[in-house]
Amino acid sequence: MTGNLRVGFIGCGLIGRSHARGVQAAGGADIVAVHDLDPARAAAFATDHGAGPGAVVASAEAVIEAADVVYVCTWTAEHPALVAAVAAAGKPVFCEKPLATSLEAANAMTAAVTRAGVTNQVGLVLRNSPSFRWLQHQATDPGAGPVMNVVFRDDQYLPVQGLYGSTWRADKAKAGAGTLLEHSIHDLDLLRWLMGPIRSVSARMRCLHGLDGIDDQASVLLEAESGAQATLTSVWHDVLSRPSQRRVEVFCQRAVFALEGDWSGPVSAERQPAEGPAGGVESLQGPALGQAAERLDGLGQNPDAAFLDAVRRGGPAYPDFAVALEAHRLADAAYRSAAADGTPVRL
């Protein structure tokens, strides 16, 4: 492809705006067509991201027609049909997480983009986080010994308030479920990345807020094929001073890691050397952590720049639908286990 890529957006809310900033920062691309069920939202989005009011179009089909690449940033239940339409047009697609409200639909979407042979990427953006990139590399380094246990806590206020400013996350028909699917699909993906293939999932869940089908408490136990174990606690409370926060501890046989900030650290490491005295605690955060992660994998912190690069190369993007599908398998197993009173589900 030569010249600037023409980018289209379907869904102009919170995360659409985040990707529009990423596209603008990446350069070499222009936002040319945007559509939202709320035309005022689409108009403000177009104006704020250098596209101008002429970029607002009346339908998703018009976005797909006008653009070289399409971002699907609507609430979750709309993703499958929109992705199917982009894939049918043979165009690259970036879809927000979760891919869909069910494993079956996520499976069909992955099959559709694979069949169409289009570059595809999912908004599992913590794969670009310096904190998790550094943690994953250190914890899977043979010098640390095998991963034994992971303690993963993810909490935020019920996201129908505060900066989210929308109510669809309280509606099972639009969101599919609550904290584990809508939010902690990120965490399931990260745990699989840290621990390798998972063989068993058990879970307990509850809906304290009384929203039908919207879990706001989830406790999940994952067992990996390697023998590693993880507990994931995912909570939607009402403490409005706490937007999304994660704390992760990884216990390997000869090293212990702790992650406090899920993008810029701090992340600490305490290692037991093969010989001699223990080395104390090493801690990294901010730009030093960003540089350390960059030296390890060269991945960068802008998922949109990476996606657009992959489109220009005509190659695969990362993380793609196939990666997200594995996280959906874990979420589905967790919901099935919770429905069966915590009985483990074997994968």
Ligand X SMILES: NC(=O)c1ccc[n+]([C@@H]2O[C@H](COP(=O)([O-])OP(=O)(O)OC[C@H]3O[C@@H](n4cnc5c(N)ncnc54)[C@H](O)[C@@H]3O)[C@@H](O)[C@H]2O)c1
Q: Is 215 in the site for ligand X (CB under 6 A)?
A: no
Distance CA 9, CA 16 (A): 7
Report in angstroms how near the CB of residue 1 gets to ligand X at its nearest: 26
Neighbours of 5 (CB within 10 A): 19
HSE-CB for 40 with a 13 A CA cutoff: 0
- CA distances to 57, 82, 176, 192, 274 from 189, rounded to whole Å, are 35, 23, 18, 5, 32
Among 5, 10, 205, 214, binds ligand X (CB under 6 A): 10
Q: Looking at 73-81, 128-136, 204-212, 226-234, which segment touches ligand X (CB under 6 A)?
A: 73-81
Report in angstroms how near the CB of residue 18 gets to ligand X at its nearest: 7
Neighbours of 165 (CB within 10 A): 10
Q: Is 182 in the site for ligand X (CB under 6 A)?
A: yes
Beta bridge partners of 258: 249, 268
Cβ distance to ligand X smaller for residue 10 or 118:
10
What counts of helices (H) and strands (E) characterise the chain?
Answer: 11, 14
Secondary structure letter of residue 263 according to DSSP:
T
Cβ distance to ligand X smaller for residue 11 or 92:
11
Among 75, 193, 257, 321, binds ligand X (CB under 6 A): 75
Cβ distance to ligand X smaller for residue 255 or 306:
306
Distance CA 219, CA 206 (A): 9
Report in angstroms how near the CB of residue 41 gets to ligand X at its nearest: 5
Cβ distance to ligand X smaller for residue 59 or 291:
59
Report in angstroms how near the CB of residue 49 gets to ligand X at its nearest: 14
Q: Is 108 helix (H, G, I), strand (E, B) or coil?
A: helix
**Which residue's Cβ has the minimum distance to ligand X?**
13
Q: Is 43 in the site for ligand X (CB under 6 A)?
A: no
Pairing of β 267-271 and β 281-284? antiparallel
Q: Looking at 1-9, 69-77, 213-221, 268-276, which segment touches ligand X (CB under 6 A)?
A: 69-77
**Where do contacts with ligand X occur on this chain (CB under 6 A)?**
10-16, 35-38, 41, 60, 73-76, 78, 96-97, 123, 125, 164, 166, 168, 182
